Amino acid sequence: MRFSSARDLLAEMLSHNIALDQYVYASLIDGSIRNENFDEAKDLFESSIIKSEGPVSSGTMP
């Protein structure tokens, strides 16, 4: 899946009020970093702290 498709899926999930878990955030942050979009990665990380059970750590990735 291309990362732009992942962002589209994220927007759709949010529009349907689907809660994002740490694995979704970790995947999106990883994709942002791999695409050198560090501002988006930072925003996603901050959002993960506010909206989920806690921050995402590298230990959450399989």
The SS3 assignment for 21 reads coil
| Predicted local confidence at residue 39, as pLDDT | 94
pLDDT at residue 3 is higher than 70: no
pLDDT at residue 14 is higher than 70: yes
Q: Give the model confidence (pLDDT) of 15-59 as tens digits.
A: 999 888 888 889 889 989 998 999 999 999 998 888 765 555 555
pLDDT at residue 5 is higher than 60: yes
Domain ranges of the chain: 3-56
Residue with tokens 């994220």: 10
Q: Which long-range contacts (CB under 8 A, 24 or more apart) does 46-52 make?
A: 48/20, 48/22, 51/19, 51/20, 52/19, 52/20, 52/21, 52/22, 52/25
For residues 56 and 12, the model is more confident at: 12
